[in-house]
Structure 1
Amino acid sequence: MTATAEVTTGPESRPDRVGHERVGRLRPRLPFGGRTADLAVLALVAAVTLVALLAPVLAPYDPVQPVGRLHVPVGDPQHPLGTDGIGRDLLSRTLLGLRTSWLTALVVVAIGLVVGGLVGLAAGAAGGFVDALLMRTTDLFLALPSTLVAVAVAAALGPGLLNTVIAISIVWWPFYARIVRGEVRSLVSRPHVEAARMAGVGPVRLVRRHLLPGVVPSAVITASLDVGNVVLVMASLSFLGLGQPAPAPELGADTARSLPELLAHWWIPAIPGIAVLVLSLVANLGGDAVRNLLSGRR
């Protein structure tokens, strides 16, 4: 008789922690896999983005004006998600709140990626004193409790969407600076970069032709995985009253204002909270899909 040895490989390590205060990110796994699943998830992300862009057109009613009876339950033909205690249509408010959360998250991630990417690229490419100065500054920001700093900045600047974006962006760029700097430092020692330097390639051309292409994939993957985090931070700040002032529709603020009605009219605080959950879930799935496609995983 011949014995067959079966080798079982352990689960693949998935380091999802990017910087401090981003711990234990749980990523749901789809029941089907492969490139088709990743493309389907990206199509879902594109659909959410399209809904966010067209939210003012898709909203059936004015989100800040009472348009129906008070406390209409979910499933009403005229108000599918019901109305709140003032008579405002919850579907319209949720669509506009989704627009604010989703588009603002994309803007914050883009700002963090550009600012942090430039800092990390300059530090990694220059080395020496420039590298030490930029990285110690980055370490100073990383040492601060980012959520508390964002709350403090938003409170100091006052309620408003622009102030919220500024507050989150201030604490978001250091993560990207660290990641990009590490990628650049690993690239500068590669043979093709050394050969380019010996051939007399200037620093600008060296960065543009040899360093930047190697940094972009990891930076894009990190940014795509971060959108869900920004959505949650945005919801947290608006929940604390540091987002747009009332009566502007915002998911976190709408949940906070309607919490007293949770037991009697559960759908009023629950619907904006579920919308935040859906946005975060879609963003996390989209980040995984981008990572799989760019890294060639199947």
Structure 2
Amino acid sequence: MTTEVTPAGSAPPETGRPDIARRFNLRGSNFGARAGKGANLGLVGLLVLVTLVAIFARLLSPYDPIQPIGDLNLPPGSAGHLLGTDAIGRDLLSRTLWGIQTSWFAALAVVLSGLIIGGLIGVVAGVSGGIVDSLLMRFTDLFLALPGTLVAIAIAAALGANLTNTLIGIAIVWWPYYARIIRGEVRSLAARPHVEAARLAGVGRFRLVFRHILPGVVPTSIVAASLDIGNVVLLLAGLSFIGLGQAEPAPELGADTARSLDQLLSQWWVPVIPGIAVLLLSLIANLGGDAIRTLLAGRR
């Protein structure tokens, strides 16, 4: 019986059998990647679902959210009132759906306005450079140095306590973050080889920006905006809680919680249900934004 001796420093002879552990790990990693992508797509689907609920809130509401239609302070699960009623007899499900519509679209409006204003300033600063860049960024830094929430409260209080003025106050202090992010992305893209090649080939500045720079800025802008929606929902609910939202009897999540806070120990569902709706909106927005960031990063 002979025994083959493997020379020192050489690899062992091939046996023809597959490396089962390696194959298993590769399959496991592929499965994990597919599962992760499916989870991210599911979270993005939740964002779409919330948007659809906000769009069709009036059709989904079983009752008028302003008019009393039932007994007072019915608990959740009561006949005809899935989430119960408040101290006036208004259906809480209807008021919550309308409140979701108000909060969600208000947050989208603030984020969109901030993205447009901040994006325009960021693109101009990043493309121009020099003194224009310095002046625009110092102007942006001035707004970043201000306490944003306090400035928004002051603006809303000065203009008058209603939802429109509150949105104006938030939008005024929200754009500098986008200006900084987009300016940095533009400067990074402007140094890429394909942009330098286009510049050397004599491509005009207007075409250079819209053909070679802006397409690269869009993914970053989408991620920043999607991650910010939850923050705006929370801020808007907080300002409404202190009386800077819609006036009674209009349904709004933060204001409804504040108005019924004295019922917390007796009819807990009246102030808690709008608060849970705010929590879910913010959570879904944050998770969905993170999922969008992961999906876009995986496609680069």
Which residue of structure 2 lines up, in the alignment, with residue 113 of structure 1?
115
Task: Output one character per residue of 1:197-235: Cα deviation in whole Å (capped at 9) or x when no partner.
Answer: 121111110100111111111111111111100000110
Match for 2:97 among 95, 98, 105? 95
Secondary structure at 2:195's aligned position in 1? helix
Secondary structure at 2:67's aligned position in 1? coil
Which residue of structure 2 lines up, in the alignment, with residue 143 of structure 1?
145
CA distance in 2, matches of 1:77, 1:44: 28
What is the identity, as a one-letter code, of the residue corresponding to 1:76? Answer: S
CA distance in 1, matches of 2:201, 2:170: 43
Q: How many residues align?
A: 267
Task: Output one character per residue of 1:180-200: Cα deviation in whole Å (capped at 9) or x when no partner.
Answer: 001111122222212211211
Which residue of structure 2 lines up, in the alignment, with residue 208 of structure 1?
210
Which residue of structure 2 lines up, in the alignment, with residue 42 of structure 1?
44
Report deviation, 1:92: 0.6
Which residue of structure 2 lines up, in the alignment, with residue 11 of structure 1?
none
CA distance in 2, matches of 1:92, 1:160: 21
Match for 1:132 among 131, 134, 138? 134
CA distance in 1, matches of 2:241, 2:84: 21
CA distance in 1, matches of 2:283, 2:156: 26
Match for 2:227 among 217, 220, 225? 225
Secondary structure at 1:34's aligned position in 2? helix
Secondary structure at 2:228's aligned position in 1? helix
What is the identity, as a one-letter code, of the residue corresponding to 1:169? Answer: A
CA distance in 1, matches of 2:161, 2:153: 11
What is the identity, as a one-letter code, of the residue corresponding to 2:293? Answer: R
Q: TM-score, normalised by structure 1?
A: 0.87
Q: Is 2:285 aligned against 1:280?
A: no
Q: Is 2:250 aligned against 1:248?
A: yes
Which residue of structure 2 lines up, in the alignment, with residue 64 of structure 1?
66
Which residue of structure 2 lines up, in the alignment, with residue 259 of structure 1?
261
More helix by share: 2
Which residue of structure 2 lines up, in the alignment, with residue 236 of structure 1?
238
What is the identity, as a one-letter code, of the residue corresponding to 2:238? Answer: S
CA distance in 1, matches of 2:165, 2:98: 19
Which residue of structure 2 lines up, in the alignment, with residue 17 of structure 1?
none
CA distance in 2, matches of 1:190, 1:60: 55
Secondary structure at 2:63's aligned position in 1? coil
Which residue of structure 1 lines up, in the alignment, with residue 28 of structure 2?
none
CA distance in 2, matches of 1:222, 1:88: 38
CA distance in 2, matches of 1:189, 1:54: 46
Shift >2 Å, 4+ stretches: none
Which residue of structure 1 lines up, in the alignment, with residue 12 of structure 2?
none
Report deviation, 1:151: 0.8
What is the identity, as a one-letter code, of the residue corresponding to 1:113? Answer: L
Q: Could you list the runs of 5+ residues in structure 2 that have no partner in the other structure? A: 1-33
Report deviation, 1:159: 2.2
Report deviation, 1:160: 2.2
Report deviation, 1:140: 0.3
Report deviation, 1:33: 4.3
Secondary structure at 1:164's aligned position in 2? helix
What is the identity, as a one-letter code, of the residue corresponding to 2:170? Answer: I
What is the identity, as a one-letter code, of the residue corresponding to 2:118? Answer: G
What is the identity, as a one-letter code, of the residue corresponding to 2:80? Answer: Q
Task: Output one character per residue of 1:217-258: Cα deviation in whole Å (capped at 9) or x when no partner.
Answer: 111111111110000011011101101111100000000010
Q: Could you list the runs of 5+ residues in structure 1 that have no partner in the other structure? A: 1-31
Task: Output one character per residue of 1:72-124: Cα deviation in whole Å (capped at 9) or x when no partner.
Answer: 11110211111111111111100000100011111111111111111000000
Q: Name the % identity.
A: 67
